[in-house]
Amino acid sequence: MRILSAFLWIFFFHFLHTFAQPKPFGPVPSKDQMNWKETEFYFFIHFGPNTFTNKEWGEGKEDPKLFAPTQLDCRQWASIAKAAGAKGIILTAKHHDGFCLWPSKFSIHTVRESNWKNGKGDVVRELSEACKKEGLKFGVYISPWDRNHPAYGSESYNDVYVSTMRELLTQYGDLFELWWDGANGEGPNGKKQVYDFSRFQDSVFKWQPHVIIFSDIGPGTRWCGNEKGFINETNWNLLDTAGFSRGAGAPPTDTLNRGNFNGKNWIPAEVDVSIRPGWFYHPEEDAKVKSAAELMKIYLESAGRGANLILNVPPDRRGLIHGEDSATLVAFGKALRNLNANNVALGKQAILIENEKTLSAKSITDGDRTTFTTSSVLEPSFEIDLGEVKEIDHVQLMESIELGQRVYAFIVDYWDGAGFRALVSGTTVGYKRILSFRKVKTSKIRINILKSKAEPVIAEVGVY
């Protein structure tokens, strides 16, 4: 009976240690932010009059009849996105030139005034339906700046902007993200607009309560501070927004790139970058499309550092993704699938080491990020026995960020046959951290948490 009693106490302690729910620490993501976070990688589509005028920023004076795609096929865009491993597409429904890719009732600068489909077309509808058929999420970019609308620069333009948002947010199904930038130049009357972002935001959530709003200060996700495709190795999902605004009043770019260590709000980063030098299609850039290897580097320095990645892929003047872009994207999709194809730690024995104690940590190798192992100390170690010698070149760590972001220094060791040797180190983990290194052969991996704000809660460790 004493032996049985002792066994039951050990089992009970292990159960509590493994399954007891730790309290959240600091700001945490909402359910909608977690759904967005798991989207991780998606396309940006810049398309409009600029595609045909060879400009990046249109002036708003362009004849709508210039918009004349001959083979526009949103199913092609969506199928290439899916092949590339993207899980959604965000469309520039209205850029700074004010041209609407849907037949807005509040503008005379739209697809309705073009000759495309005899003025009966709607790019927003075609892409939203294509995304639905391919199982992709759909979102829109709608620039507050409008270089065409005569009301821009007056109080009444805020009414116009709210009305155009209502069209987009109520007629095309559920949107996963709404993209705002802070561009605020002059309108056709030479005036700048005072944007009523408080009203805009309230209106958005009235029509799309689960959408994630992107801007310099969120509230759903923040800009990463550059358009080069990377975020800092130290990336906190936290941001202080008091005293800041969108556009010229945004936080400093280095703050946007790193977040705030003790930020008051959970506002994770999104990394935006184009597959070409420009954001709209330019034929002279056909030979300047990023390679699959360059896209993989971007992925590892964005999604691999806990951010979401939005990759711009601009359709050409036919209304198709160009062959150079599609070839790169298909190759990248294959490389992305291969990156996570062989997790040699999956299902393997894992232990948590706290001071002198050793406990089971099997949840970090079960392939399920909804399970986790939490430590009762700030600087534990997690050890995984691979069962046999394997050649590896990268590891992936995931925190259970639903309970807060905690880790801010760690090191990964590998067993060289006689002892553990340092392999690679990092700072923050967050939703996902991928670390690449020279190939080594080993049968064991150990992750040492060196610094943590609170007791670490590790969801997964993958070894590849």
> What are the DSSP calls for 414-460, one per residue?
EE-SSSEEEEEEES--TT-EEEEEEEEEEEEEEEEEEEESSS-EEEE
CATH 2.60.120.260 range(s) for the chain read 343-463
CB-based contact 399:459 (threshold 8 Å): yes
CATH 3.20.20.80 range(s) for the chain read 31-339
Express each pLDDT in 20-50 by its tens digit.
679 999 999 999 999 999 999 999 999 999 9
User: Distance of CA 113 to CAs 109, 339, 382, Å?
Assistant: 7, 46, 62
CB-based contact 20:254 (threshold 8 Å): no
CB-based contact 191:54 (threshold 8 Å): no
Superfamily in which the 343-463 domain is placed by CATH: Galactose-binding domain-like (2.60.120.260)
- The predicted pLDDT at position 2 comes to 55
- The predicted pLDDT at position 7 comes to 47
CB-based contact 229:271 (threshold 8 Å): yes
Express each pLDDT in 265-303 by its tens digit.
999 999 999 999 999 999 999 999 999 999 999 999 999
What CATH number belongs to 31-339? 3.20.20.80
pLDDT surpassing 80 at residue 9: no
Strand partners, 310: 42, 272
pLDDT interval class at 182 (50, 70, 90): confident
pLDDT surpassing 90 at residue 237: yes
Helices (H), 288-349: 292-300, 323-339
pLDDT surpassing 60 at residue 91: yes
How many angstroms separate the CA atoms of 335 and 294, rounded? 11
Express each pLDDT in 56-75 by its tens digit.
999 999 999 999 999 999 99
- The predicted pLDDT at position 10 comes to 46
pLDDT interval class at 356 (50, 70, 90): confident
Summarize the confidence of residues 159-177 as an average pLDDT. 98
